[in-house]
Chain A
């Protein structure tokens, strides 16, 4: 634990093993958890801090997940909401790995297609699939384009 963290020790307690997602765009922590598929009904032991002061970002959010190491493929989708997020893997209280997030080219099963006529909104055995373009998310089934408010479309 660094000294500056200890001074904020009341905010979130240290974890022995797990993942810390740091430098999340302020206010996006809960959406980050949703996009990871971590909800109140899943097993993980979570600590969440929002609007924490940060030298680099002004304000930021932090999420700490105990006993779970997130894999790159599941974590990259965070970049849609929090492009500056840093993933820290913690083992025995120490940061053993630190990586940024990269926007994936394809999102499968992450956002729901807003087009009610889209085949992905039926009982067919298929996941929504969007390609990530500079102008938005493009549904590879019906060509719908999600331009903003991505958080609202997370499954």
Chain B
């Protein structure tokens, strides 16, 4: 049985295979690859609109059906029941489970108790592999990933999307440029792991210093909760905000990505530049999740 739990479980070849499959689904080349007799459970123990909707969309596009519980219903399910028990029970109803849960490692645990495949749709501050895959997919639509320069901007301390994207990019000989406000730098053990995987990691103190070198700028949310007061938040947030004037002299093919939702990290005026690719990125969640759902249930 095939589970999708953590980007760490994937080698370069696995990633490339899934990206290729997603492209085939995107191009409509897989009309016969349907899941019309399949049912998936979307178990979301934490709120999420985007991820949940794109899994539901992907399943519907494949001709399959999904049943789901959202965070409110889910919280009553778990009253007194362990996740392990919920998973054992739901395994009896469906052909695969997509799980979003607030605890790190929840998806790994679920895969141990499930009798059907489990896809991790985000476990707390932990892994969110389908997000990483769609990030890679979006980059690869425009350029080969090998050897490019990728900047990660924003909260690199708590931001799980940044961590797992960096891990995946380390398989492609990418040079990573980290740009984070003081206190939100990438944790030392993650930077160490990246370097152990052979990745060149360059730290920068501001965007301006790095932006002209970049092929991809990946912006993540800076959350207000991370700051002691709103003054220090606004101070940091404004100095890390991407606005059109910052983009003078960047590479023509620079792509700006963001996992969305954005707070104030990207000025809406940037949306009208050719560099803004985050809406396309969000749209790519569907073919990626089609590839994943199909892969685990085919």
Contact = CB atoms under 8 A, between A and B. Distances in A.
A39 B6 CA distance: 37
B141 to A, nearest CB: 29
| Interface of chain A: mostly helix, strand, loop or mixed | loop
B76 interface: no
Interface stretch (A49-57, A68-76, A84-92, A122-130): A122-130
A64 B104 CA distance: 40
Contact of B126 (A122, A124, A142, A147): A142
A119 B108 contact: yes
Given A117-B124, A119-B109, A141 B83 contact: no
B103 interface: yes
A145 interface: yes
A13 interface: no
Nearest to B124: A117
B159 to A, nearest CB: 14
Interface in A78-135: 115, 117-120, 122-126, 135
A126 B104 contact: no
A126 B124 contact: no
Contacts of B105: 118-120, 139-142
Contacts of B124: 117, 142
Q: Which of B6, B102, B109 has the most CB of A within 10 A?
A: B109
Given A118-B103, A135-B192, A143-B8, A124 B83 contact: yes
A118 B112 contact: no
B103 A125 contact: no
B189 A145 contact: yes
Contacts of B126: 117, 142-143
Interface residues of A, number: 18
A143 B8 CA distance: 10
Contacts of B189: 145, 147
B106 interface: yes
A141 to B, nearest CB: 3
B82 A123 contact: yes
B103 A126 contact: no
A91 to B, nearest CB: 40
Interface string B40-53: 00000000000000
Contacts of B192: 135
Interface of A: 115, 117-120, 122-126, 135, 139-143, 145, 147
11 contacts: A117-B125, A118-B104, A118-B105, A119-B101, A119-B106, A119-B109, A124-B83, A125-B82, A140-B108, A142-B105, A142-B126
